[in-house]
Amino acid sequence: MPNQYKPIPPIDEIQEYITYFYRCRLNDKEIAKEMKDHYDQDKYGLSVASVKRVRKSLGLLSTRQQKHSLDSINRQIEEIRARFPTRGIENIRKSLHTDYGMFVPRPLIAKFLKQTEPEAVEQRKARRLVRKCYWAAGVNDTWSQDQHDKWGRFGLWLHACVDVFSGYIIWIKIWWNNRNPRVVCSWYIDAVRKLGAIPLVTQSDPGTENYGVANAQTVMRHSMDPSLADTMQHRWMHKKQNIKAEIVWSLLRHDWTPGFENTLDKGVNQGWYKATDPLESLLFRWLAIPWLQAELDSWIVMRNFNAPRADKNKVLPHGVPEMVYSKPESFGALDFKIPVSPDLVDRAEQDHAPPGHEVHELVPPIFAARAHELYTKLGNPPVTSASFWDVYKTMLWEFCNTPTPLSHPIASVLTAFDASKHVAPPDPENPLPENIVPLLPGLKELRAGDDMVGELPEGFLYIGGLSKPIIPPSIAEAAAKLTTAQKGKTKGSKQGSNS
């Protein structure tokens, strides 16, 4: 056998990578293959059997080795169901792995659910999406972003960004504003700074909230490629065409949202929270946003580190989004990211997402200081779905009944705070003055890169940053089959009409 007599690499040098691939749910054979990029193959060897031994020594046990039973998964599944009451077998399996480090076979989870909630199992049926196929040339070709306004009645607004090619979720943010271009651009800047690069293009619906990202992306692209100087490097998507981001919202609404929405609705229905009351709005914001952001971050990890359900209609790579995004070469793909210097990112931030702007503050600083003081007085209780309203009501009572030297400044803050505008449905035609940022003038809309493969209306539309993208074989093959099928249908219909 190759490498039969070579020693394995030092454990401390490979532990991080083996753990990473284990989290991505790769089996031992797949881990051994991926690990070849992370040690000197002239000096060391790492067979499948060696991977298995190292993995076990690190406490990273496989599904069979963990030997779970109905009793051993009971508590964890009940906790998951309390937070996510509509979650099905596959997402429970992923959550057990992501949140608890447990590998549990699907049949065991199915058996548990059939015993504990047989009616719910029957009610959950696969949902079908209306399919509109478009493709990207590779990782970081296009970042698709979109806002989500379903929780506006609570004073909470969401925003997401996803890499089109890999399906990797770059961010989902919950905030008290998703219409101010400065705060939306700050999330883009954070992602760029973490990656050290920008995509070829960004895309979104044509709302003014996206002007900051469009401007920052364009300025940075222009600074590195003057040939693009007359063209906006952000694509505006119309009429439900921003598909990838909309898919993320569909997944979130089906899996993550229901349990937390029920929790929030309870407080509104009980009269504990009125979103238009300044004190209640600020306290709710101070407690709810950090808690829900942490829950969203956990959900993002689950989605990124688990392969989506197999889909015969999908032409982009099948696999774990994190793996596709970080190692596109393993999937026969390219990474189109454009490295940017920290200085360039800093300038873009100052110009388009200035850190000192009040939109970046969770609550006014004076209110935050008092809230932190009262929260500490209560013993820093953990905020969860079960405890949120109890903590909120206790802190609200303390705010209203505890004398404090800060009461006068807080009174001024509350008097000046207009809570109603943070729950009102957005009006795209008449944005609030503080949410207006002008778009860079005199630039042509991004059009280069559109390419239809196959016949309308069911072809595969390329929407990215390359003027002449190389069509992946999988897409060309799928388009050819689709064209043949369409011609067959047309021929059949003509014969039917002539008979």
Choose from 51-55, 174-178, 416-420 the range with maximum mean pLDDT.
Answer: 174-178
Co-location of 210 and 324 in the same domain:
yes
Q: Would residue 313 count as lying in a domain?
A: yes
Considering the domain boundaries, does residue 386 fall inside one? yes
**Final residue of a structural domain among 295, 329, 360:** 360
Rg, Å, the chain Cα set: 26
User: How many domains, in total, are found in the chain?
Assistant: 4
Residue 105 lies in a domain: yes
pLDDT band at 449 (very low <50, low <70, confident <90, very high): very low
Q: Are residues 355 and 381 in the same domain?
A: no
What is the residue-wise DSSP string for 158-170? EEEEEETTT--EE
- Within a domain: residue 350? yes
Pairing mode, strands 169-175 and 157-163: antiparallel
Q: 7 is written with which tokens?
A: 């020693």
Residue 437 counted as domain residue:
no
End-to-end CA distance of the chain: 67
Say what the pLDDT of residue 118 is: 75
Does this model's pTM top 0.85? My answer is no
Question: Are 242 and 104 found together in one domain?
Answer: no
Chain centre to alpha carbon of residue 57: 33
Which of 317, 342, 360 lies at the terminal end of a domain, its last residue? 360
At 314-372, the pLDDT tens digits run: 556 678 999 999 999 888 888 999 999 999 999 999 999 999 999 999 999 999 999 99
Judge contact between 374 and 395, C-beta under 8 A: yes
**Do 326 and 205 fall into the same domain?**
yes
pLDDT tens for residues 70-97? Answer: 888 889 888 888 888 888 888 888 888 8
Residues 103 and 230 in one domain: no
| Residues 214 and 303 placed together within one structural domain of the fold | yes
* Whether residues 156 and 199 fall in one domain: yes
pLDDT of residue 458 exceeding 70: no
What span, in angstroms and rounded, lies between the C-alpha atoms of 275 and 281? 5
- Give, in degrees to the nearest 5, the angle at Cα 244 between 243 and 248: 115
For 153, the 3-state DSSP assignment is: helix
The reply to whether 422 falls in a domain is: no
State whether 184 and 324 are in the same domain.
Answer: yes
Domain that holds residue 371: 365-416
Select the more confidently predicted residue: 133 or 412. 412
In a domain, 248, yes or no: yes
Where does a domain end: 21, 43, 60? Answer: 60
Claim to verify: residue 117 and residue 163 sit in the same structural domain: no
Question: Tell me, what CATH number does 213's domain have?
Answer: 3.30.420.10
**Residue 55 maps to a domain:** yes
- Are 275 and 398 contained in the same domain? no
CA distance 473 to 255: 34
Q: What is the pLDDT of residue 281?
A: 96
For residues 22 and 79, state if they share a domain.
Answer: no
Whether residues 356 and 296 fall in one domain = yes
